[in-house]
């Protein structure tokens, strides 16, 4: 049943027909001539096709609407929001929902008749649901409440919230369904259902509405061939007719009416909320808009809760790193660090075992591999992954390691190099156990067989074929946050390992000290100071400032939308951006300023003898400069900066940095590409 609807050929999105719940007029790009109309114009506007085609746009639209559309579309390809107008039809006034947009050197205007009945009830219902959504603190509860709220507003039989995975397959993660026998909760749908062309269309118009899959579509008069104009792309509108493939898809899943609303996060399609009705049903434009507003509100809340979870995870990682930093002044056997902190790291990263591999030493905790097998894994990694910052795999049985070692039930591996020496890198290895997972696919067998090599079982569970796939050799995926955090942890371990080596190799003290300075003080990517060196500099400056009574301040900043750079251009280009940014900032600082990479895309500047006003001025100069720089491949980027003047004698380094971090977060929350001064309010840290 997983038909590739609407994309079997390139002309599908230019079907010259619309659904019958509205009408359409095509004008030239200057709104001076009517080129085409839908053949149901008489039923909707009370104007015959012949009359419309022989009339002027002003006569058909009215001078007020004509002028309004000209102004709105002069600098935009689409109305920002639909217009509500009253128009006399057959002697009485009718309200219309009007959407206009540019398409193929034309202006398209859609008219959808509106009914006043029922719209008055929407506002209090929507407001009540919005209030409830705003108070939910748990993501799964929020997702379930979202589908409930949309069903309450629209009345659809089934409302599904589906999330895309990394391969663009969808899984229904929340649902309300009036017929329990037709529930699709936790079912999976292949990427071919909504391929790239259709997904891209959702960036133009996040809503797709079908009132009756069996209703006839309404053609245009004259056809584009008759008047030698390009076929219209109706993606930006609401009336776009169904392709045969979309129609067949809905019929095969036994759905007569549908509404789909795309959900976008981090500039990428995150998922889709899909409403199904088992009989034809037309909902009002107000109900569609209400559903869309509920989705927008809920997803913003969801992403905020996800950001909070990520922040808590990163805070726990930071606390662990600070504990590890405390060991830097001691000479601790590196393997002892794994004994001390390994169990905490296993819990933090949700893994079953950790191995530390450097030089000829291997230390394991939890469920890993045999020592000699860990050494084999390390040798393979050193030759196979090159200069990548880490290697993450959730299906080791499909990797070359399956032939090198006995993986047993180890299916996930996150491998991070330890930057000890250029010629001999160590490894931090985190292992995850294989999880037995059962996927219930709503799709045709031949489509699923192109996705997986696992055997399939057939089941007739929902009145159409369901294919059950059992996966036994796959682990939970490593998130980007986990990968970044593991890299930070590996850097700290590398420092600890280096300190131990220096203490042990007294006969090579000069070489070892040089190595320590390089590894412990310098960020390997940008060649500026790293976090550890900046912590030392801040501690020294705070002590001097307090002793001699001069001010000092810090600037904490990061790159806006940096994840989008990595997602769009790849991490190699992202690394180039960070390196170029470091060079640009370094060139604008005084010799007395200290500059380092704080972690990821975050950087920090320590400016001596500068109070808040001077530091804010420096921050603004840096912000403007970076905004003006054109980076290779990416183009322009921006930064958000938090500025804090040290409260001498009143706060620790950690509290100073926390105040700057809160100011930076405020800068990002209020629009990015700006600076914010920290308040004098101290944390409890």
Contact assessment for residue 14 and residue 233, using Cβ atoms and an 8 Å cutoff: yes
Give the DSSP H/E element, type plus range, for residue 106.
strand 106-113
Distance CA 321, CA 334 (A): 14
> How are beta strands 218-221 and 17-18 bridged, if at all?
antiparallel
Q: 587 by DSSP, 3-state: which? A: helix
Instruction: Quote the tokens at residue 245.
Output: 């493939």
Angle between helices 334-348 and 285-326 (to 10 degrees): 160
Q: Give just the sign of the alpha carbon dihedral 401, 403, 406, 408.
A: positive
Q: 238 by DSSP, 3-state: which? A: coil
Contact assessment for residue 557 and residue 660, using Cβ atoms and an 8 Å cutoff: no
Instruction: Quote the tokens at residue 335.
Output: 């393997």
Per 3-state DSSP, the chain is made up of helix, strand and coil in percentages (nearest 5) of 45, 25, 30
Instruction: Quote the tokens at residue 464.
Output: 């159409």
Distance CA 640, CA 112 (A): 44
Instruction: Quote the tokens at residue 368.
Output: 């890993």
Q: Where are the alpha helices (DSSP H) in 235-327?
A: 244-252, 285-326
Concatenating the DSSP letter of every residue in 327-369 gives GGGS---HHHHHHHHHHHHHHHTT-SEEEEEETTEEEEEES--
Instruction: Quote the tokens at residue 391.
Output: 């290697």
At residue 239, what are phi and psi to the nearest 5 degrees?
-90, -5
Q: Which of 491, 601, 645, 651 is catalytic?
A: 601
Distance CA 663, CA 643 (A): 7
Beta bridge partners of 361: 358
Residue 601 appears among annotated catalytic residues = yes
Mention every residue, 6+ apart, whose C-beta is less than 8 A from residue 306: 139
Q: Give just the sign of the alpha carbon dihedral 484, 487, 491, 497.
A: positive
- For residue 613, how far is the Cα from the chain centroid? 36
Distance CA 23, CA 112 (A): 7
- For residue 523, how far is the Cα from the chain centroid? 28
Secondary structure E strands in 501-567 = 552-559
Q: CB burial class (10 A; 0-12, 13-18, 19+) of residue 94?
A: middle
Distance CA 97, CA 84 (A): 5
Distance CA 225, CA 39 (A): 16
- For residue 455, how far is the Cα from the chain centroid? 32
Give me the residue label for tokens 């450097």. Answer: 358
Distance CA 178, CA 275 (A): 12
- For residue 309, how far is the Cα from the chain centroid? 15
Contact assessment for residue 483 and residue 417, using Cβ atoms and an 8 Å cutoff: no
Distance CA 593, CA 528 (A): 12
> Which residues are identified as catalytic?
601
């Amino acid at each position: 049943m997983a038909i590739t609807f609407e994309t079997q050929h390139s002309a599908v999105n230019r079907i010259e027909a619309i659904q019958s719940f509205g009408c359409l007029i095509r004008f030239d790009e200057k709104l001076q001539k009517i080129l085409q109309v839908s053949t149901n114009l008489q039923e909707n506007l009370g104007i015959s096709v012949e009359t419309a085609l022989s009339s002027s746009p002003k006569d058909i639209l009215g001078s007020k609407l004509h002028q309004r559309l000209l102004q709105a579309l002069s600098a935009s390809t689409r109305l920002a929001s639909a217009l509500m107008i009253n128009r006399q039809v057959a002697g009485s006034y009718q309200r219309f929902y009007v959407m206009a947009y540019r398409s193929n050197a034309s202006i398209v205007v859609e008219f959808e008749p509106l009914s006043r009945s029922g719209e008055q009830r929407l506002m209090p219902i929507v407001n009540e649901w919005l209030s409830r959504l705003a108070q939910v603190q748990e993501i799964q509860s929020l997702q379930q409440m979202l589908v409930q709220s949309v069903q309450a507003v629209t009345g659809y039989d089934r409302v599904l919230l589906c999330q895309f995975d990394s391969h663009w397959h969808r899984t229904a993660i929340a649902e309300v369904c009036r017929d329990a026998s037709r529930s699709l909760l936790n079912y999976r749908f292949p990427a071919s259902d909504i391929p790239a062309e259709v997904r891209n269309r959702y960036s133009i118009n996040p809503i797709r509405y079908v009132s009756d899959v069996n209703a006839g579509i309404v053609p245009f008069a004259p056809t584009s061939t008759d008047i030698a104009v390009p076929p219209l792309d109706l993606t930006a509108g609401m009336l776009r007719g169904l392709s045969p493939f979309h129609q067949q898809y809905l019929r095969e899943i036994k759905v007569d009416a549908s509404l789909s609303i795309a959900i976008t996060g981090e500039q990428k399609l995150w998922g889709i909320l899909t409403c199904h009705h088992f009989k034809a049903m037309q909902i009002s434009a107000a109900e569609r808009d209400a559903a869309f507003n509920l989705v927008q509100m809920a997803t913003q809340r969801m992403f905020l809760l996800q950001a909070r979870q990520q922040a808590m995870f990163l805070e726990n990682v930071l606390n662990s790193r600070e504990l590890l930093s405390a060991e830097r002044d001691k000479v601790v056997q590196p393997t002892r660090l794994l004994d001390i902190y390994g169990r905490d790291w296993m819990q933090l990263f949700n893994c079953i075992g950790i191995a530390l591999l450097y030089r000829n030493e291997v230390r394991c905790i939890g469920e890993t591999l045999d020592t000699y097998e860990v050494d084999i894994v390390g040798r393979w990694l050193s030759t196979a992954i090159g200069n990548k910052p880490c290697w993450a795999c959730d299906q080791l049985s499909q990797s070359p390691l399956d032939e090198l070692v006995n993986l047993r039930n180890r299916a996930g591996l996150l491998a991070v190099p330890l930057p000890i020496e250029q010629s001999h890198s160590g490894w931090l290895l985190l292992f995850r156990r294989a999880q037995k997972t059962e996927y219930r696919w709503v799709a045709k067998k031949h489509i699923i067989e192109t996705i997986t090599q696992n055997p399939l079982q057939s089941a007739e569970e929902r009145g159409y074929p369901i294919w059950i796939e059992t996966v036994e050799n796959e682990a939970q995926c490593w998130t980007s946050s986990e990968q970044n955090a593991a890299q930070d942890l590996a850097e700290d371990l590398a420092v600890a390992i280096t300190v131990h080596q220096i203490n042990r190799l007294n006969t090579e003290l000069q070489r070892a000290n040089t190595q320590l300075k390089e590894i412990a003080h310098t960020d390997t990517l940008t060649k500026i100071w790293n976090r550890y060196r900046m912590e030392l500099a801040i501690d020294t400056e705070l002590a001097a400032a307090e002793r001699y009574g001069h001010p000092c301040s810090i600037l904490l900043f990061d790159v806006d939308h940096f994840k989008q750079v990595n997602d769009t251009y790849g991490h190699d280009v992202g690394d180039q951006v960070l390196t170029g940014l470091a060079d640009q900032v370094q060139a604008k600082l005084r010799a007395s300023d200290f500059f380092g990479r704080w972690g990821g895309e975050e950087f920090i500047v320590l400016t001596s003898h500068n109070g808040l006003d001077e530091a804010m001025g420096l921050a603004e100069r840096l912000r403007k400069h970076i905004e003006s720089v054109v980076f290779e491949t990416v183009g322009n980027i921006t930064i958000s900066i938090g500025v804090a003047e040290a409260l001498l004698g009143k706060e620790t380094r950690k509290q100073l940095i926390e105040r700057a971090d809160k100011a930076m977060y405020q800068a990002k929350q209020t629009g990015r590409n700006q600076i914010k001064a920290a308040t004098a309010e101290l944390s409890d840290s």
